[in-house]
C-alpha cells in the first residue's frame, strides 16, 4: 500500500451507506466516491470540501418587531432615464417593507395575514405581490406607489411573466384555473386577449406552481396525486394544454427553480426533481436529483410545511439552496445545497443557516448572492467571506468519509502517518480524526498557518530575511500517528468549529501498512 492519497470524488450521500469498497490504484490514489457527512461545506472544482461562508446582517435593527421574514425579493426598475433603481422587499409579520437601497426598511403595506406565503413577479416595471392568503388581494408597487393591483385581477397566490402577459393561479375558489392578463397589461384581466385555462379540473389537486421555461408555460398540480402540464402557444387562439406526467407535482410555487438548461422543483414528497430527468424516467424515484439523500429527507423533513420551502439558484456559484423545515420545526431551520457543476450532482447540508425565505440579490460590486430572510426580522447575506454567523457564532465544518477497507476486509492493517492537503487559512488549527472499525474515534490537530505576510498576526511585524511576502497556496500538513492502531476498515473525519476560522481541504494521505489476514470465523 503503504502511502495512499485520497481525493474527494463525491458529495454527501447518506443513502449509499456507511461503507465503500475501494482500493488504491497503481499510483497509490483513491477517489472516495461519496461522503457520509458534508456539513456546512461547498465544493471546490477539484472536489475539495471548503467551509461555507458566514452570514452578515443587512438591516441594523430587526423589522416588524423581530417577526419571521416570510419572503424577500430584489426589485429592480429600469425606468426610462437610463439609471435603474432598486428596492429590497421584505414580508415580515403583517407588513411588507421596502428600503431605498440603503438597508433601512419602511412599511409599504400593512394589515396582512402573518403566516401567508408570499410570491413576487415583475412586469412592466411593476412589482406584483401576492400570497397564499385567501383574504389578502394581489398588490403592486412601482417604487413610489403601493396599492392593490389595479383593474380586475383574481385573488391569485402566485404569478409569472410569460410571452408579454402575466399568468397567475392559486385562487382558492378555483383551484384548477390558470388566469392570464391582456397582452402587456398586468392590470387588465377581463379585456380582449385575457382569459382562463382549466388544468385537469376536479382531479383532487390544485395548481401549486407555474413557471415559464423554454418558450412554454409549465403548470404543476398537487399536493396529493400530482401532475405536470405544458402550455404551448402565444395567444388564446393557439394555447394548448399538453399533459407531461402524472404522479409528480410541486410542493409550492417558491420551490420551482431554474438551473443550467433545466427546470427543477421540490415535489409534494419533499424530493427534488428536474424536468429533463422526469421526461427521461418519469416519476421514478431513482431519477430524483435528491436520490443520494432521499432517506434523510424522508426521515427529517416536516411534510406539513413543504409549502414553505424555498429554492434559489446562484448561477455564479453553480449551486441551488433549498430552505426547508426539518424535525417538526415550525420554521425553516435547515438548508440543503445542490452543486450542479459536478456529474453526478453533489449535495451538502448547511445546518448553520436558518432562512424562512431566500432570494438571489445583486450584492456589492454587482456580485449575485443568495440572501436569507431570517426568523428574527433580519435579512442576511449568505456565504460571506468571514466564517461566522453575524460575526459571533462559529460554523461547524464536518466532513466524514465512509468506512474503507482498502480492498481487503479480512486483512488487518495499521495506520501510521497522515498528511492533510490544505490551502492555508490562518494561525489556527483543523482536526483530523480516524475511526478504526468500532473503536473509539481518535484525533490529532494540524496547523492551517501558511507563510508569514507583511504583518503576521503572531508578531504584528515583518522580519527582513525571515518573513515571506506571501502565504503558501497549498501545503501538506504531516502528522505522525504514534497511536494510529490496527484496523480492517477505517473512516476519516475533518472538523473545525471556531469563530472566524476557515478550512479548505483538497486531499489527504495516510500511510497504511498491511498485516496478516484474520483467521477469525
d(CA 364, CA 52): 19
Could you tell me the three cell numbers for 84? 435603474
Q: Which residues contact 188 (CB under 8 A, 6 or more apart)?
A: 151, 152, 181, 182, 194
Count of CB atoms situated within 10 Å of the CB of 59: 20
Classify 99 as helix, strand or coil.
coil
d(CA 410, CA 519): 8
Q: What is the mean pLDDT of the chain?
A: 92
Written as one string, the DSSP assignment of 290-335 is TGGGHHHHHHHB-GGGGGG-EEEEETTTTEEEEEE-BTT-SS--EE
d(CA 324, CA 300): 10
Q: What is the pLDDT along the chain (521 residues), one digit of tens a residue?
A: 589 999 999 999 999 999 999 889 989 999 999 999 999 999 999 999 999 999 999 999 999 999 999 999 999 998 777 889 999 999 999 999 999 999 999 999 999 999 999 999 999 899 999 999 999 999 999 999 999 999 999 999 999 999 999 999 999 999 999 999 999 999 999 999 999 999 999 899 999 999 999 999 999 999 999 999 999 999 888 999 999 999 999 999 999 999 999 999 999 999 999 999 888 766 656 689 999 999 999 999 999 999 999 999 999 999 999 999 999 999 999 999 999 999 999 999 999 999 999 999 999 888 999 999 999 999 999 999 999 999 999 999 999 999 999 988 889 999 999 999 999 999 999 999 999 999 999 999 999 998 554 444 444 444 444 444 445 789 999 999 978 899 999 999 999 999 999 999 999 999 999 875 554 54
Omega within 30 of 0 (cis) for the link into 227: no
d(CA 294, CA 72): 28
User: Tell me, what's the pLDDT at 281?
Assistant: 67
User: Which H or E element spans position 54?
Assistant: strand 54-57
d(CA 193, CA 189): 9
d(CA 190, CA 170): 18
With cell 420551482, the residue in question is 256
d(CA 468, CA 450): 10
Q: What is the 3-state secondary structure (H, E, C) of 115-171?
A: CCCEEEEEECCEEEEEECCCCCCCEEECCCCEEECCCCCCCCCEEEEECCEEEEECC
Classify 267 as helix, strand or coil.
coil
d(CA 497, CA 48): 18
User: Tell me, what's the pLDDT at 80?
Assistant: 78
Contact 53, 502 (CB under 8 A): no
Q: Which residues contact 284 (CB under 8 A, 6 or more apart)?
A: none
∠ CA 221-137-205 to the nearest 5 degrees? 15
Strands 368-373 and 49-51: unpaired
Contact 116, 131 (CB under 8 A): yes
User: Tell me, what's the pLDDT at 478?
Assistant: 94
Could you tell me the three cell numbers for 141? 408597487
Half-sphere exposure of 418 (CA within 13 A, CB side): 24
Q: Which domains are present in the chain?
A: 3-52+397-517 (2.60.120)
- Running DSSP on this structure, what letter comes out for residue 280? H
d(CA 164, CA 181): 9
User: Tell me, what's the pLDDT at 286?
Assistant: 67
d(CA 67, CA 56): 18
Residue 40: name the closest of 423, 388, 427 by CA: 388
In this prediction the pTM is 0.92
Contact 428, 70 (CB under 8 A): no
Amino acid at each position: 500500500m503503504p502511502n495512499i492519497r485520497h481525493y474527494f470524488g463525491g458529495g454527501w450521500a447518506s443513502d449509499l451507506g456507511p461503507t465503500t469498497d475501494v482500493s488504491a490504484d497503481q499510483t497509490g490514489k483513491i477517489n472516495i466516491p461519496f461522503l457520509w457527512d458534508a456539513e456546512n461545506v461547498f465544493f471546490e472544482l477539484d472536489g475539495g470540501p471548503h467551509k461555507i461562508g458566514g452570514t452578515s446582517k443587512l438591516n441594523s435593527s430587526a423589522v416588524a418587531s423581530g417577526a419571521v421574514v416570510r419572503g424577500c425579493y430584489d426589485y429592480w426598475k429600469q425606468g426610462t432615464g437610463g439609471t435603474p433603481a432598486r428596492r429590497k422587499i421584505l414580508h415580515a409579520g403583517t407588513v411588507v417593507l421596502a428600503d431605498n437601497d440603503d438597508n433601512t426598511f419602511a412599511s409599504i403595506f400593512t394589515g396582512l395575514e402573518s403566516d401567508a406565503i408570499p410570491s413576487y413577479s415583475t412586469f412592466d416595471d411593476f412589482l406584483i405581490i401576492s400570497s397564499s392568503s385567501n383574504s389578502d388581494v394581489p398588490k403592486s408597487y412601482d417604487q413610489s406607489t403601493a396599492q392593490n393591483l389595479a383593474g380586475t385581477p383574481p385573488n391569485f397566490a402566485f404569478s409569472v411573466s410569460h410571452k408579454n402577459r402575466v399568468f397567475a393561479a392559486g385562487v382558492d375558489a378555483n383551484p384548477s384555473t390558470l388566469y392570464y392578463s391582456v397582452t402587456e397589461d398586468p392590470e387588465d384581466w377581463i379585456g380582449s386577449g385575457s382569459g382562463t385555462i382549466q388544468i385537469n379540473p376536479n382531479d383532487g389537486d390544485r395548481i401549486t406552481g407555474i413557471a415559464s421555461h423554454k418558450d412554454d408555460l409549465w403548470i404543476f398540480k398537487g399536493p396529493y396525486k400530482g401532475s405536470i402540464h405544458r402550455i404551448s402557444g402565444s395567444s388564446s387562439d393557439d394555447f394548448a394544454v399538453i399533459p407531461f406526467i402524472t404522479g409528480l407535482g410541486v410542493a409550492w410555487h417558491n420551490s420551482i427553480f431554474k438551473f443550467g438548461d433545466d427546470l427543477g422543483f421540490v415535489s409534494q414528497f419533499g424530493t427534488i426533481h428536474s424536468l429533463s430527468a422526469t421526461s427521461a424516467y418519469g416519476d421514478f424515484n431513482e431519477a430524483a436529483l435528491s436520490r443520494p439523500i432521499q432517506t434523510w429527507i424522508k426521515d427529517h423533513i416536516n411534510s406539513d410545511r413543504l409549502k414553505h420551502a424555498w429554492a434559489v439558484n446562484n448561477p455564479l456559484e453553480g449551486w441551488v439552496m433549498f430552505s426547508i423545515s426539518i424535525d417538526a420545526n415550525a420554521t425553516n431551520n435547515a438548508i440543503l445545497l445542490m452543486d450542479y457543476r459536478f456529474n453526478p450532482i453533489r449535495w451538502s447540508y448547511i445546518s448553520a443557516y436558518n432562512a424562512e425565505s431566500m432570494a438571489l440579490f445583486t450584492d456589492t460590486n454587482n456580485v449575485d448572492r443568495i440572501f436569507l430572510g431570517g426568523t428574527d426580522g433580519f435579512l442576511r447575506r449568505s456565504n460571506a467571506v468571514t466564517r461566522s454567523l453575524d460575526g459571533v457564532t462559529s460554523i461547524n465544518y464536518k466532513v466524514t468519509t465512509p468506512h474503507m477497507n482498502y480492498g481487503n476486509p479480512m486483512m488487518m492493517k495499521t495506520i501510521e502517518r497522515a498528511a492533510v492537503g490544505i490551502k492555508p487559512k490562518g494561525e489556527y488549527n483543523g482536526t483530523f480524526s480516524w475511526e478504526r472499525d468500532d473503536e473509539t474515534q481518535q484525533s490529532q490537530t494540524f496547523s492551517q498557518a501558511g507563510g508569514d505576510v507583511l504583518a503576521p498576526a503572531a508578531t504584528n511585524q515583518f522580519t527582513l530575511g525571515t518573513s515571506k511576502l506571501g502565504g503558501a497556496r497549498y501545503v501538506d500538513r504531516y502528522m505522525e500517528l504514534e497511536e494510529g492502531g490496527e484496523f480492517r476498515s477505517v473512516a476519516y473525519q475533518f472538523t473545525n468549529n471556531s469563530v472566524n476560522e476557515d478550512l479548505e481541504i483538497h486531499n489527504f494521505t495516510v500511510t497504511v501498512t498491511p498485516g496478516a489476514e484474520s483467521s477469525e470465523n
